[in-house]
Amino acid sequence: MTAVLSDWLFTSAFGVYMAAALFGAGEHSFGRFASARVADLCGRLGLALTVLGAVLHAVSVVLRGIAGGRVPWGNMYEYLSAVGLIAVVAWLYVVWRHGVRRLSVFVLLPIALLLFLAGNQLYTEVAPLQPALRSYWITIHVAAAIMASSVFLLSGVLSGLHLLSARGRSHLPPAEILDRVAYRAGVIGFATLTFAIVTGAIWAEQAWGRYWGWDPKETFAFVSWLCYAAYLHARSTAGWRGRNSAWINVIGMVAVLFNLFFVNLVTVGLHSYA
């Protein structure tokens, strides 16, 4: 019953996010072509629905863990659900801190797509963890990986919007604001990815007898790390700040998504159980 309720709440959260994205699109569109009052109303409703969706989503994740008697990120469905939840919570913080609510449609739609793929293509019934995952490191290492993936997704979307804003497109906030928020998110993501790689190496030594073996997952995690190291360096280097560093951040997001989907689902390696 707990697992069924978790699934129902997941589906409900997805529907609420889509409704929030619709109101976000209304705010963005009406802010350009209609009255500010209508745009503000759409924005407030969209924000309220986003908060509601995050609450439903969080309860879904918690119930999934209770149903399995373990951490709620033991397979790809659960992992992507957790990534989506953290991304939404991070976005709510950005809205509260930086007042960029009218960008919600651009953030919520990719998150909703992620959840759609998780719920329809990668759904897995609740089951005990596979033996290889029965370690306390799954709480530490995978949680860090979830945080990094979530923040990188948000940072990459904001850098993409920064590139559009720099060209005067789509009634977006100033490019400098988007660049600053994307950079701060990138710093957090880089730190958590570094921690995830280090803890993953420690876990690998305990499980497989070596810290690093160039498994496809390890290799592309390192590639992602290099992309974001390059982004942070470029962002602080004269002549690279702005559009150039934003492009590197977008490339980094593509690397993370490639690692998340292609490497996890197509390649064969020691991480294939994911």
The pLDDT value given to residue 146: 95
**Which residues make Cβ contacts (< 8 Å) with residue 270, sequence separation at least 6?**
204, 208, 213, 215, 217
pLDDT tops 90 at residue 136: no
Lowest mean pLDDT among 9-23, 128-142, 193-207: 128-142
pLDDT tens, residue by residue, 218-242: 888 999 999 999 999 999 887 788 8
pLDDT tops 60 at residue 273: no
The pLDDT value given to residue 4: 92
pLDDT tops 60 at residue 274: no
Q: Which residue is listed with tokens 């030594």?
A: 205
Question: Considering the chain, what percentage of its residues have pLDDT values greater than 90?
Answer: 60
Domain annotation covers residue 56: no
Domain annotation covers residue 200: yes
Confidence of residue 159 (pLDDT cuts 50, 70, 90): very high
pLDDT tens, residue by residue, 24-41: 998 887 766 657 788 889
Greater pLDDT, 203 or 238:
203
Give SS3 for 224: helix
- Give the domain range for residue 150: 130-265
Question: pTM of the entire structure?
Answer: 0.92
Domain annotation covers residue 171: yes
Contact 80, 257 (CB under 8 A): no
Give the number of other Cβ atoms within 10 Å of residue 233's Cβ: 12
Domain annotation covers residue 146: yes
Domain annotation covers residue 237: yes
The pLDDT value given to residue 242: 83
Tally the domains of the chain: 1
What mean pLDDT comes out for the span 157-171?
Answer: 82
Domain annotation covers residue 154: yes
Looking at the chain, how many residues does it have?
274
Contact 228, 186 (CB under 8 A): yes
Q: Cα–chain-centroid distance for residue 81? A: 9
Q: Cα–chain-centroid distance for residue 73? A: 14
Domain annotation covers residue 25: no
The pLDDT value given to residue 34: 57
Q: Which residue is listed with tokens 């976005």?
A: 91
Lowest mean pLDDT among 105-114, 248-257, 258-267: 258-267
Confidence of residue 86 (pLDDT cuts 50, 70, 90): very high
Domain annotation covers residue 99: no
pLDDT tens, residue by residue, 89-105: 999 999 999 988 989 99
Between vectors from CA 14 to CA 9 and to CA 18, what angle results, nearest 5°? 145
**Which residues make Cβ contacts (< 8 Å) with residue 178, sequence separation at least 6?**
100, 158, 159, 161, 162, 165, 172
